Amino acid sequence: MHAIQATGLTKSFRDVHAVRGVDLTVEDGDVVGLLGPNGAGKTTTIMMLLGITAPDGGEVRLLGRRLPRDRVAALQRSNFAATYLGLPYRLTVREILRVYADLYGARRGRIDELIGMFEIESLAGRMPSDLSSGQQTLVILARSLLNRPRLLVLDEPTASLDPEMAGRVRRILAAEHAAEPFTILVTSHNMADIERLCRRVVFIARGRVVADGSPSGLTERYGASDLEETFLTIAAEARA
């Protein structure tokens, strides 16, 4: 089964064509990086994949469910984390996790598991306003694993994290994935993160998929020394 099957996605905002016919298929259990320069259409594509924004054209199936018709069934088994998401204020971290456990139908014991796994015991009784942006990101990431998602979409998950915290997140994701494989679609400007996590990367530029393959395969195809150089080459080609 495909975890994500998107065909011909298009989206325009007034006269700006943000996404121009993106086809994206992700196999169940795969870990895929969605890369591209700022304004390439990554976040708009993610918003359409999650049913948050309706595409102007094209079709999305998540975990075999067609959006928007089967949105609830698809999202019940998916989850999403991004650094730009907020946390409800005037709730403690534990209360936030409790609310989202109810929203996703997760079991209560999972909250303590995640608090332990992310080493955020000292934050559990604190409110988001008392947390640093990095600590808030950790809570958002912990929240995204509450329902043991079959599909996890991460938009810049480690952007506000220091190297130690980012490493902790990568280890947790790898351990969870090894214990029970699930699909991860991740965007990041940190190429080291992508190389460590992803078996496949999809490059988007100017709203179109311009390259698709394994990190090493694409690096070789573009005659680059690493993924960062590959990124710079593709971005320069897209600008030209």
Partner 1 sequence: MNARRIRAVFRRHWYVIRHSPDEVFDILYWAFLDLLLWGLLATFLQRRQIDLPVPVGLLLGGALLWALLWRTQMGISTAFLHEVWSRNLISLLASPIRPGEYIAGAILWTIAQLAVGWTAMAVVAWTLFRFGIFSLGPALVPCLAVIMIFGVAMSLAVLGLIVRFGHRANVLAWGIGGMLMPLSAVYYPVTVLPGWAQAVAQGLPLARVFEAMREVIAGGPVPWDRLGMALALDLAYLVAAAMFARAMFATLRRRGYVTRYV
1 binds partner 1 per the rule CB under 8 A? no
Q: In terms of CB distance, is 101 or 227 closer to partner 1?
A: 101
d(CA 216, CA 231): 12
Sequence-ordered alpha helix ranges (H) in 156-226: 163-179, 191-197, 215-221
Residues in the chain: 240
127 binds partner 1 per the rule CB under 8 A? yes
What SS3 class is residue 48? Answer: helix
Q: In terms of CB distance, is 52 or 175 closer to partner 1?
A: 52
d(CA 100, CA 130): 20
Pick the binder of partner 1 from 57, 84, 181, 220 (CB under 8 A): 84
Pick the binder of partner 1 from 20, 66, 98, 189 (CB under 8 A): 98
Q: Six-digit token pair at 6?
A: 């998107």
90 binds partner 1 per the rule CB under 8 A? yes
100 binds partner 1 per the rule CB under 8 A? yes
d(CA 53, CA 44): 8
User: Applying CB under 8 A, which residues contact partner 1?
Assistant: 11, 13, 44, 47, 50-54, 68, 71-73, 75-76, 78-80, 82, 84-92, 95, 98-100, 102-105, 127-128, 143
